[in-house]
Amino acid sequence: MVIEQFHYATTPKYNFPQSLEDLQLPQRFIELSLRSMKKINGECFQPHEITSYGPSKENSEGITLGFQHHDSFTLRPIPLKPALDYTTVVAVDVSSINVGETKTGVICAVRGAIVWKEKSRYRCLRLGPFPFHITEENKREIYGMLRQYYFKVSGDTNAPSLINMQNRMCNLLERWLQMGVSCSSNRSVILWDGSLTAGTIDSPVNVVSQLLEVARNRLNTVLAFSKITRLRLSGHLLTDLAWKSPPPSLLQINGFPTYVSSKVRFLGDLYVARFTEGSCSFRLDIDREIPWEQGLEAVQRLLGNDLFLQSYPETLRLAHIFSTFTANEVIGIQRFIAQKCGLKMVTRPNVRRLLFGPFGKGSEG
């Protein structure tokens, strides 16, 4: 939680596996948060309405593709058998919130969570929330410094608009946590929320490739689960194709091009995962640079070492829960920031409600 003087605390170290207990957030991230918050003393502050609150994280897939020629693809059902040999399962997720607005910018907060399943116990590390006051004057410094510091990304560092900075900060934190887990884990199954599609704004090819390479070098296997996919085959969503095979099973989809465009590419082999009876199945991306047998073995080790609800891994589900902000937490963060920084709370009129009354629903953006 955010505590006095904006010091940042996490769950005690004894909760973590020995190999990951030294995972620390870089001081630079904390310094940027503190520096941005010091410059808002005495400003007017409009808290974000809790009624329209929702955690935010941009969909990294970012593309809608439809493949019409079914004959060019092969669909291969693969029955699965849980492998009961002991394997650590590690999941990463992040979220962000819009805390409110000042006269000069916006205040957002980001938080991440890492969950381990080890020796029949789930353990969690939460990092944040980290508040940032982002303005037109400081957004380029914050965004560029984080990208270059964490991933050595060269080239144009033009920051996105203020409305998109929240998602970009969230994505940067997520990539850093994924890198930390890849460096600290060994012979583990690492779960990502999202896909292995690279080349979008928030997922540069060199960054995602570097993350996967680090994981491979330590004999880890990355499995990326997409709760929602936009990929279609002959007009049907990929996740609608899995019902012909009894669970637990994978539906292997061969024939997707590696490159979607000159910039966007798939870094993983595509599957549809259906692990339990129920109404859900998920797109599953497995690092295409590892042998096919290793990827299949990783999925079976996941089945033997984790619990599943509606085909979704419990480790990844808990990571989502622990990273997500509740309405009470949002109110607490707003009040703390207002009191600590001496902000003057204001309530601006809701233009949509003034104009449309009970029909004035939706975002003000």
Task: Render pLDDT for 262-275 as a digit per residue (tens, 0 to 9).
Answer: 788 889 999 999 99
| Position 365 in a domain | no
Asked whether the beta carbons of 288 and 266 are under 8 A apart, the reply is yes
Which pLDDT does position 222 carry in this prediction?
97
What is the pLDDT averaged over residues 327-348? 86
What is the pLDDT averaged over residues 120-149? 84
Q: What percent of the chain has pLDDT over 90?
A: 36
| Position 324 in a domain | yes
Q: Report residue 252 as tokens.
A: 């292997």
pLDDT digits (tens, 9 = 90+) for 84-110: 889 999 999 999 999 988 888 899 999
Whether the pLDDT of residue 52 is over 80: the answer is no
Which pLDDT does position 150 carry in this prediction?
58
Give the helix/strand (H/E) hosting 119: none
What is the pLDDT averaged over residues 156-178? 82
pLDDT digits (tens, 9 = 90+) for 189-246: 999 999 998 888 778 888 899 999 999 999 999 999 998 887 777 777 777 777 777 8
Which pLDDT does position 14 carry in this prediction?
30
Which pLDDT does position 312 carry in this prediction?
95
| Position 22 in a domain | yes
| Position 56 in a domain | yes
Exposure pattern of 81-116 as b/e (b: 16+ CB <10 Å)? eebeeebbbbbbbbbbbbbbbbeebbbbbbbbbbbb
Which pLDDT does position 8 carry in this prediction?
39
Q: How many domains does the chain have?
A: 1
Which pLDDT does position 2 carry in this prediction?
37
Sign of CA dihedral 148, 153, 159, 162: negative
pLDDT digits (tens, 9 = 90+) for 284-327: 999 999 999 999 999 999 999 999 999 999 999 999 999 999 98
| Position 364 in a domain | no
What is the pLDDT averaged over residues 42-59? 62
CA-to-CA distance for 128 and 10, rounded, in angstroms?
A: 8
Per-residue confidence at 153, pLDDT binned at 50, 70, 90? Answer: low
Asked whether the beta carbons of 234 and 265 are under 8 A apart, the reply is no
pTM, 2 dp: 0.84
Which pLDDT does position 12 carry in this prediction?
36
| Position 18 in a domain | yes
Which pLDDT does position 75 carry in this prediction?
84
What is the pLDDT averaged over residues 330-344? 87
Q: What percent of the chain has pLDDT over 70?
A: 81
Which pLDDT does position 115 carry in this prediction?
95
Whether the pLDDT of residue 70 is over 70: the answer is no
| 224: containing domain | 4-359
Find the angle CA(55)-CA(59)-CA(62) to the nearest 5 degrees.
150
